[in-house]
Amino acid sequence: MNKKKLLQKSTESFLIFSVIILMIAAPVFYFISQWLYIYETEEVLLMHKGAFVKESHSNFTENDIKLWNKYNRDVVIVPDMGVKKDSIVGVIMYDDIAEADEPFRILYAPVTINGKKYTYTERINLLEMEGMVFSVAAMFLLIIIMLLVGIIWLSKITSAKLWKPFYNTLNQIHDFEIDKNKAPNFPPTKIDEFDRLNKSLELLIEKNTAIYKSQREFIENAAHELQTPLALFQTKIETLSQLDLNKDQSNLVGSISNDVSRLNRLNKNLLLLSKIDNEIYLEKSPITINSYIEKHLDFFTEQADYKDITITIDFRTTLDINANPALTEVLINNLFLNAIRHNEKGGQIVVVALKNELIFQNTGVKTSLDTKKLFNRFSKNNPSSQGSGLGLAIVKKITEVNNWKINYTFKNDLHIFSVRF
């Protein structure tokens, strides 16, 4: 769906309204002008007839009438036509001077000359009126078009200045990241609504930033505080497992040991996320991804052997990046362990290294994962998974702080995670 900007939308609405009004007003103006001209023409005809009657034409003789008709082309005195009152009609008739049919208004009026009844006829050519109306209409259209163009141009200029504070606020909100310390700075404006909007946003950002920092500090402090009791708990469990226990007791201790190990992993992941948020891992150095994977392949193969998973390495080129070694190690470990944990027994994993991209392909469930929740913290597509639900969230966070791109697709029954450096 194509979205339009606010200024464009408002300008379009104004333009459409103006064009509709123009299309209605132009013909209405033309017909009104035409009617006014015809009305004035009829008034002139009646005025001429009144002047004829008022002057000494009542003493005309037959010869005078013949001379009048000879030298007056448009005003003719004819024998009585039975007209009882003044009557004006519009006709199209041939004009011998123009040699064409043209519109006329003709007055028929009864007059009395020397006691004898005649009919006074006068005609006026309306063709000049047509040209005048068209000229006035054209001038009207030109003025309206110039007015519309001027209004639209002025509206765009003034609207751009008027809405500049709004777009400034919009851009700052778009670039704002709550995990960064830099809060947006909204300059004061001369518009009350924009000032109220900026103040509301500042309060909202301030409150949410305080809540976010409080939650982050709580997680960090809790993770630190949990380290010591978890270590002591693990030591006591190991001591307990060395005692002479029966089978049921041994299984119970082993189950507790696994749960504590998961708690340790969760605690370490929370600390890692906290450190990433606090930008502790800033040091970068050249890293060859191929070398790291080859160096630790035995470990990943050992983890995969529990499910009879086959690992295939496809290094099509040497993938060199500049990044923090610790974060890069976590990134690769989590992608590898994710491909192992969520794989099927007897499945496969294919690792592909391209020029600027690292790809992990693995078998698993036969349907695509929910991409909306896939990289969320504590989100699990498989509820029975032994993971902490933070592995892919950490991968996503590492890619964000390094401006890399992580992408997931499902194709040919393979779950594909790709990191573009």
Q: What is the pLDDT of residue 381?
A: 56
- Looking at the chain, the number of H-run helices and the number of E-run strands are 10, 11
Considering the domain architecture, whether residues 73 and 153 belong to the same structural domain is answered as yes
Considering the domain architecture, whether residues 134 and 254 belong to the same structural domain is answered as no
Considering the domain architecture, whether residues 19 and 153 belong to the same structural domain is answered as yes
Cross-sheet strand order for the sheet of 116-125? 75-79, 116-125, 100-113, 87-95
Angle made by CA atoms 411, 412, 417, in degrees to the nearest 5: 40
Q: What is the pLDDT of residue 59?
A: 75
Considering the domain architecture, whether residues 35 and 99 belong to the same structural domain is answered as yes
Mind listing the pLDDT tens digit for each residue in 28-87?
A: 877 887 788 888 888 888 888 888 888 766 678 888 888 888 888 888 988 988 888 988
Q: What is the pLDDT of residue 379?
A: 63
Q: Final residue of a domain: which of 280, 306, 331?
A: 280
Query: Which of 270, 271, 286, 289 has the alpha carbon at shortest distance from 323?
Result: 286
Residue 48 included in any domain:
yes
Residue 302 included in any domain:
yes
Residue 105 sits in which domain range? 6-158
CATH number, domain of 342, equals 3.30.565.10
Considering the domain architecture, whether residues 294 and 409 belong to the same structural domain is answered as yes
CA–CA separation, 168 and 94 (whole Å): 71
pTM given for the model: 0.48
CA–CA separation, 223 and 315 (whole Å): 38
Q: Final residue of a domain: which of 218, 249, 280?
A: 280
Q: What is the pLDDT of residue 416?
A: 93
CA–CA separation, 122 and 101 (whole Å): 17
Residue 163 included in any domain:
no
Considering the domain architecture, whether residues 147 and 13 belong to the same structural domain is answered as yes
The count of domains in the chain is 3
CATH number, domain of 206, equals 1.10.287.130
Q: What is the pLDDT of residue 104?
A: 85
Q: Give the pLDDT means over successive 10-residue stretches in the chain (421 positions).
A: 61 75 77 81 87 76 85 87 88 77 87 86 77 72 80 77 84 80 81 87 86 74 71 78 80 79 70 68 83 90 91 92 87 90 92 93 90 75 56 86 91 93 91
